[in-house]
Structure 1
Amino acid sequence: MPDTFVSKFDSNIKPFLGLTFMSLFACSALMTGCKEKKEEEKTSKGPKGLVAEAYVVKQAPLSSIYQSSGNLLANESISVYPEVAGRITAIHFKEGGIVRKGDLLVSLNSSDIDAQIQKLRAQRKLQVTTKERQDQLLAISGISKQEYDNTVTQIASIDADIAYNQAQLRKLEIRASFDGIIGLRNVSVGAIVSSATLITTIQQIDPLKMDFLVPEQYKDIVKQNDQVHFTVTGNNDTMQGKIMAIQPQADVATHTITMRAIVPNSNHLLSPGTFTNVFITLNRKSEAITIPTQCIIPTTRDKQVAVVRKGKVDMVTVQTGERLEAKVEILQGLQAGDTILTTGIMQVKQDMPVKVKKITE
């Protein structure tokens, strides 16, 4: 065959063959794409799964905390006033110092009462001597019984006058009523005072009292002798006290009940009048089930939780109890060991496939 014919054949057939191979490749790619699209459509028609985080339910002790505000008070506190008018002759206490029960604080002028008592004692001595003589005369009927009785009555009357003046004398000595810390004095030696003159104050600060308010619905939960915890401004330590008394009547305006706790203060770090943040433990339970608050799905009729069982969602109706800051108590519907969803709960449906990517306890 001539070379010219062969070269012409090659030049004519090669473009045709190239086009044919390109067409076959395009058809193959088109068929593969259609197959993948059909498989994708088939897969999309199947059930959709959910990837979410979950929480394992367990039992643990439960106690809810109610926070209130309170004030520290002195266990005993008095303002010291004189019982009678008089002139101050001596002041026996140091401002801000510690005093004991019965310590003499202030002395008032007592010269006139001292003189009166001395006079009465002299009169009594004379009457006692007279009575001794009359005892002998009465024995020999040398004196009437009435005259003898008059002398005895005179002695008794003088004794009463002496006792009265001694009582008045004690009123001129102002003493501490109990152990405590004395305040600032408002008088000086030589001042004339009356029963309306404030001399100083005495406060007993070990222990202290703490008054705080609790809503009336807790009156049957918080009991006498229960422990309470509290903090004060400027001190990060949590301190405690014991409820000593409960006001039997609730306040009509606020519907709260006043409670009083006793607080140890042996180191004198706390002061009367200090504001406190009080924490009261309510509803103590040794075993309770609590779950994160966000796990609850509210409905028009009840509350539900999404429980994971065999890779699918089971919508369980629950009954809730005490609500805490970040958790809620479950009374019915769940048990220890159940796995519940904590995320994606607004998209879940009954029997929806679910894959747990993270579990917390």
Structure 2
Amino acid sequence: MRNKTLKTVIIIVILAVVGFLVYKFTAGSNPKEPKASAPAAGGGRAAGRPILADAYVVKPVKLDEIIKASGTLQSNEEVELKPEITGRITQIYFKEGAQVSKGTLLIKLYDGDIRAQLQKLELQRELAKTTLARQEKLLKINGISQQDVDVTANQVSAYGADIEYNRAQLQKTEIRAPFTGTLGLRNVSEGAIVSPSTIMTTLQQLDPLKIDFATPEKYRNVIKQGDPVYFSVAGDTNRYKGSIYAIDPKIDLATRSVKIRAIVPNSSRRLFPGSFATTEIQLKDNPNAIMIPSQAVIPGTRFKQVIVADSGKAKFVVVETGIRNESNVQITNGLQIGDTVITSGILQLKPGMPFKYNKVQ
């Protein structure tokens, strides 16, 4: 009897424990019980909330387009004076840095051997002429053959050719100024033996000067011969003016630029060859230029883009740029007057993404 009672108590306890566990499980999974919502990760923008962005409305502006480039001043004419033959300097007739006229004798080389040879040839030619005159008289009386007369006549002509050659050699012993200009520093002295590789001095024409510079190839058809060029040089506050007189017909393949040369008056002698110059070419004013803030342009490897507002959504547009200034850049293709360009929040925007204006300029 006692065993039966004990079994009954154990069964009741087991049933009670099972019932408690079933109740706890059912209560914990009740779908009507509210759940705690998780906080937004990192405190970021809520999903679906539009980005705030600044914008700029494209409008026409007057643009004074100026092409700036670095240039170098060059002599109008420049030459290194070298002898044509090897010889010894016997006389120097110029002063360093002096102004000389075309044809002025500057340096004399030893010419004694050439003059002696020239004198010998002239005597031999005179003798051959005398012999030729006698033979022509004998030919008239059949005292000599025509062949002998022809040989002597040929000798007279040969002596004449040798004389002309030595006279040409004699001229090579005189170093003269090939044009009017200013002499440089002297590199030789009297008594020095010089060869055709010896630079004795230089001669430069300083008035006028040339200035060489390069501009991007897109301006090739805009710049014309005769256009003015303004420039300044280091250490000089003056602004100088020249005019374009030559444009290289070939575009440089390495830099994609075109070389330009201008002529510059230099009667004051304040400009010097080799000076670095900052040049400016002012093109025709553009009254309807499109200028936008520089930060609106998204650079790329193949092209540049801007973000344009399209019914409250971001639209990426490929553009071509022109000249720049401190804060703006010219758009030559891709935008129209009245377009709204996004200037901030560019990194967060994607094509077709909605946004709201924070400030419109």
Alignment TM-score, normalising by the size of structure 2: 0.65
Alignment-derived partner of residue 288 in structure 1: 287
Task: Show CA shifts across 1:240-281 (max 9, x none).
Answer: 112222223333332222211111112211100111010012
Identical positions, percent? 46
Residue 300 (structure 2) pairs with residue 301 (structure 1): no
Q: Following TM superposition, by how much is the alpha carbon of 1:291 offset from its aligned partner in structure 2, in angstroms?
A: 9.1
Task: Show CA shifts across 1:103-138 (max 9, x none).
Answer: 111111110110011011111111111222223222
Alignment-derived partner of residue 33 in structure 1: none
State how 1:20-99 maps to structure 2 within 5 Å.
63-99=64-100
Ranges in structure 2 where 5+ consecutive residues have no aligned partner: 1-58, 298-305, 311-318, 339-356
State how 1:166-315 maps to structure 2 within 5 Å.
166-282=167-283, 284-285=284-285, 288-289=287-288, 300-301=307-308
The separation in 1 between residues aligned to 2:87 and 2:321, in whole angstroms, is: 68
Residue 129 (structure 2) pairs with residue 128 (structure 1): yes
Across the two proteins, how many residue pairs are aligned to each other?
Answer: 264
The separation in 2 between residues aligned to 1:99 and 1:226, in whole angstroms, is: 32
Task: Show CA shifts across 1:117-176 (max 9, x none).
Answer: 101111111111122222322233332111111111010000011011111111111111
1:136 aligned counterpart, secondary structure? helix
User: What is the root-mean-square deviation in Å for CA atoms of aligned residues?
Assistant: 3.2
1:229 aligned counterpart, secondary structure? strand
Q: Following TM superposition, by how much is the alpha carbon of 1:327 offset from its aligned partner in structure 2, in angstroms?
A: 7.8
1:133 aligned counterpart, secondary structure? helix
The separation in 1 between residues aligned to 2:177 and 2:292, in whole angstroms, is: 58
2:185 aligned counterpart, secondary structure? coil
Task: Show CA shifts across 1:167-211 (max 9, x none).
Answer: 111111111111111111111111111222221111111111111
Q: Following TM superposition, by how much is the alpha carbon of 1:323 offset from its aligned partner in structure 2, in angstroms?
A: 5.9
Ranges in structure 1 where 5+ consecutive residues have no aligned partner: 1-56, 304-318, 335-344, 350-361
**Residue identity opposite 1:266 in structure 2:** S
The separation in 2 between residues aligned to 1:87 and 1:229, in whole angstroms, is: 48
1:82 aligned counterpart, secondary structure? coil
Task: Show CA shifts across 1:35-86 (max 9, x none).
Answer: xxxxxxxxxxxxxxxxxxxxxx9997x5400111111011111111111111
Alignment-derived partner of residue 4 in structure 1: none
Pick closer, same or farther for the CA change 1:143–1:180 going to 2, 3 Å.
Answer: same
**Residue identity opposite 2:308 in structure 1:** R
Kept after mapping to 2: 8 A contact 1:320/1:332:
no
Kept after mapping to 1: 8 A contact 2:292/2:330:
no
Pick closer, same or farther for the CA change 1:204–1:332 going to 2, 3 Å.
Answer: same
2:263 aligned counterpart, secondary structure? strand
The separation in 2 between residues aligned to 1:262 and 1:210, in whole angstroms, is: 6
Pick closer, same or farther for the CA change 1:300–1:110 going to 2, 3 Å.
Answer: closer
Residue 172 (structure 2) pairs with residue 165 (structure 1): no
Kept after mapping to 2: 8 A contact 1:181/1:205:
yes
Alignment-derived partner of residue 110 in structure 2: 109
State how 1:322-341 maps to structure 2 within 5 Å.
325=325, 333=337
Alignment-derived partner of residue 154 in structure 2: 153
The separation in 2 between residues aligned to 1:104 and 1:58, in whole angstroms, is: 65
Kept after mapping to 2: 8 A contact 1:64/1:324:
no
Alignment-derived partner of residue 357 in structure 1: none
**Residue identity opposite 1:301 in structure 2:** V
Q: Following TM superposition, by how much is the alpha carbon of 1:324 offset from its aligned partner in structure 2, in angstroms?
A: 6.3
Pick closer, same or farther for the CA change 1:135–1:228 going to 2, 3 Å.
Answer: same
Alignment-derived partner of residue 21 in structure 2: none
State how 1:4-19 maps to structure 2 within 5 Å.
none
Pick closer, same or farther for the CA change 1:258–1:328 going to 2, 3 Å.
Answer: closer
Alignment TM-score, normalising by the size of structure 1: 0.65
Pick closer, same or farther for the CA change 1:147–1:180 going to 2, 3 Å.
Answer: same
